[in-house]
Amino acid sequence: MPSSSFTTLALASALTYLYTYSSQASLSITNAVLLTCSIFLLLYLIWSLFLRPVYFSPLRNLPGPARKSWKHFFKIYNPNEVLEFVDTVPNNGIIRYLDILNSEMISITDPKLVAEMLGPRADHLNKRPKIKVIMESILGNGLVVAEGKDHKYQRKHLLPAFNHKVIKNLYPTFWSKATEMTSLMTEQIQSSSPKDLSMVVDFDDWAGRVSLDIIGLAGFGSAFHALSSPETDLNTAYRAAFLPNKNSRMFFILSLLTHPTLVYMLPIEHSKRLREGVNAVTRWIRGFIAKRQHDKPEKTEGSTFVHQDIISAAMEGGAFGVENLVDQSKTLLGAGHETSATAVTWGIYLLSQPRYAHIQNRLRQEVREYLPSPSSGIEVTEDMLEKLPYLDAVSKEILRVYAPVPLLGRIVHSPMEIGGVTFPKGTVLLVHMWAINKSKKLWGEDAHEFNPDRWLKDKVNGGATENGFLSFGAGTRSCIGRGFAIAENKALLAQLIGSFDIKPPHGETEDLDISWGITARIVGGLHMKTSVLEGW
Ligand code: HEM
């Protein structure tokens, strides 16, 4: 029992005793226990919700935003609001604020300190328990969730499956799936409006379908058919589990306030969807692994791996048992599809805004000049796709401005020091990529603007300090799929912008409703007027 709980229990017992003694009430044992428990709970709540965070926390003097009213007691600060703190609260890279129910949050805002936290100090940190349970229910106990020695072991044995040779071989797969998507979209537009060849399209849906198909082929060597047959179980049940709406928000908040396992079991809409999605995907994965283990083909001469997909490469080392392979597969599917789809959706959102029409046009010009038309059937390789500097710059800038994973959280499990501050056990440390990526202190006055040119001037850091671009995390747990994600993103953007003119149906897009989960997604999808362009 933590010492604060023990002290509170002792205080509660003393108060019960005092009450019994002073009022000369004779309490039965049951009533005395009930009274002690109630006093304990009350004292505990007063201590943890009010006294500790406001008056006694050893971190209370760190810089942070002023709390203007008690309404803030029920507020969850979103990464956009933290961006405001980063730029307006004078700080040396560490900001403290009180979130919902006065929970103390420490946001590390200096990239140098982030690198220290997620690198040399990472052994003092774990993922936050409740978020970890939510992620484990979807991704299994794979690389994203594993901690300590388990994580080191898994990472070491999965790294070869993400090496450059494997990713290089996947470029044609990314391109051919992008081709399938744009030709299906073109067919749909041609049949629904044959005259002006344009219609409103939900890019969130297409991005989700294509990224599921890509992870199917590239990750598992399997065709999921989410593009051609969207009614399949994997597409409907699994993708529905990630859909942001008011039910998923309620699920997330309830999980944080109570316990995610309990909320996962409840007969509420989002829990039901999650269970169905996870069951569908687990069934498929078990069948896939059993089949792969049954028919192991011989390695062909000159090839590094028997299969050119990631999970088969991971299986070949023999480092993982069946149950762990199931978990790694769930991780690969979830971590590799939702994030990539979100990146494409944000990309189309930015490129379609009238104020950025010149960027859309310039990108189209480069794509059409250097890449073969999708209808030519020519295979696009790494060398071809990596030859386009503006595509590279646009893709990085999209990931900077709208980082698909908006923040990372850790909890300190053994006291540690960063930037001269000692953080006791139990401190919650956050890295708001959404804020650091757009901090004016790091990126200059135009930090909030979508300006791909900054990456043409500085290909590595975009003009910011080293590690200022944090969309893929940093340190020992940085994104293992970074090379995969960037290549996929470029292939999809190139084809979409090369093939279509895209703009909001009614001028500039109105205010967005963003759902802040593991990823930051647009609620209700991204509906854009899309016109087929000839001449590529
Ligand atoms: C634009 C797309 C993507 C973004 C923005 C992204 C972002 C991230 C971030 C920020 C982390 C660090 C999480 C943490 O420190 O807690 C991470 C980890 C991870 N990502 Fe990605 N990711 C993307 C695509 C992918 C893809 C395509 C794959 C797989 C094919 C993938 C697999 C993983 C895995 C397995 C981890 C866990 C690494 C570890 O803990 O060692 N990601 N990703």
Alpha helices in 453-502 (DSSP H): 453-457, 482-499
Whether the pLDDT of residue 302 is over 50: the answer is: no
- What per-residue confidence (pLDDT) applies to 429? 98
Distance 162 CA to ligand 1 centre (A): 12
245: helix, coil or strand? coil
357 — phi, psi (to 5°)? -60, -35
- What per-residue confidence (pLDDT) applies to 6? 67
Encode pLDDT of 414-423 as tens digits. 999 999 999 9
- What per-residue confidence (pLDDT) applies to 421? 97
Residue nearest to atom 3 of ligand 1 (CA): 339
User: What is the CA 58 to chain-centroid distance, rounded?
Assistant: 31
Query: Could you identify the atom of ligand 1 that is nearest to the CA of residue 488?
Result: 27
Residue nearest to atom 16 of ligand 1 (CA): 408
Confidence of residue 129 (pLDDT cuts 50, 70, 90): very high
Whether the pLDDT of residue 462 is over 90: the answer is: yes
Query: Model ipTM?
Result: 0.99
Residue nearest to atom 17 of ligand 1 (CA): 479
176: helix, coil or strand? helix
Encode pLDDT of 106-115 as tens digits. 999 999 999 9
Residue nearest to atom 1 of ligand 1 (CA): 340
Q: How far apart, in Å, do the first and last CA atoms of the chain sit? A: 68
Residue nearest to atom 30 of ligand 1 (CA): 336
Q: Where are the beta strands (DSSP E) in 232-314?
A: none
Contact 316, 297 (CB under 8 A): no
Confidence of residue 303 (pLDDT cuts 50, 70, 90): very low
Distance 208 CA to ligand 1 centre (A): 16
Distance 131 CA to ligand 1 centre (A): 15
Encode pLDDT of 13-45 as tens digits. 777 777 777 776 677 888 778 888 888 888 888
What residues does ligand 1 touch, defined as CB less than 6 Å away? 143-144, 155, 331-332, 335-336, 339-340, 343, 404-405, 408, 471-473, 477-481, 484-485
Query: Could you identify the atom of ligand 1 that is nearest to the CA of residue 127?
Result: 16
- What per-residue confidence (pLDDT) applies to 377? 92
CB count in 10 Å sphere of residue 36: 19
Please state, for a pLDDT cut of 70, what percent of the chain lies above it. 95
Distance between CA atoms of 496 and 498, rounded to whole angstroms?
A: 5
SS (H, E, C) 9-69: HHHHHHHHHHHHHHHCCCCCHHHHHHHHHHHHHHHHHHHHHHHHHHHHCCCCCCCCCCCCC
What domains, with CATH codes, occur in the chain?
Answer: 1-56 (no CATH), 71-139+406-470 (3.30.43.20), 149-401+476-532 (1.10.630.10)
Please state, for a pLDDT cut of 90, what percent of the chain lies above it. 68
Whether the pLDDT of residue 8 is over 80: the answer is: no
Strand 520-522, strand 94-98: pairing? unpaired
What is the average pLDDT across 235-255? 86
| Token pair belonging to 73 | 């007691």
What is the average pLDDT across 229-244? 86
Q: ∠ at Cα 144 (435, 470), nearest 5°?
A: 25
Encode pLDDT of 483-502 as tens digits. 999 999 999 999 999 999 99
- What per-residue confidence (pLDDT) applies to 3? 56
Ligand 1, from 479, 482, 488, 519: best to mutate by most atoms within 8 Å of Cβ? 479
- What per-residue confidence (pLDDT) applies to 314? 81
Distance 493 CA to ligand 1 centre (A): 20
This prediction's pTM: 0.92
Encode pLDDT of 422-433 as tens digits. 999 999 999 999
Picking from 80-84, 149-153, 196-200, 310-314, which range would have the lowest pLDDT averaged per residue?
310-314
Distance between CA atoms of 498 and 507, rounded to whole angstroms?
A: 21
Collect all residues with Cβ–Cβ distance below 8 Å to 326 and sequence separation of at least 6: 140, 282, 285, 286, 289
Query: Could you identify the atom of ligand 1 that is nearest to the CA of residue 310?
Result: 30
- What per-residue confidence (pLDDT) applies to 32? 77
Residue nearest to atom 42 of ligand 1 (CA): 481
Ligand 1, from 158, 339, 469: best to mutate by most atoms within 8 Å of Cβ? 339
Whether the pLDDT of residue 59 is over 80: the answer is: yes
Q: Is 479 within any annotated ligand binding site? A: yes
Query: Could you identify the atom of ligand 1 that is nearest to the CA of residue 154?
Result: 41
Encode pLDDT of 304-351 as tens digits. 444 568 888 888 778 889 999 999 999 999 999 999 999 999 999 999
Higher pLDDT, 74 or 211: 211
| Token pair belonging to 415 | 């006291």
What's the whole-number average pLDDT of the chain?
A: 90
Whether the pLDDT of residue 49 is over 50: the answer is: yes
What is the average pLDDT across 45-62? 91
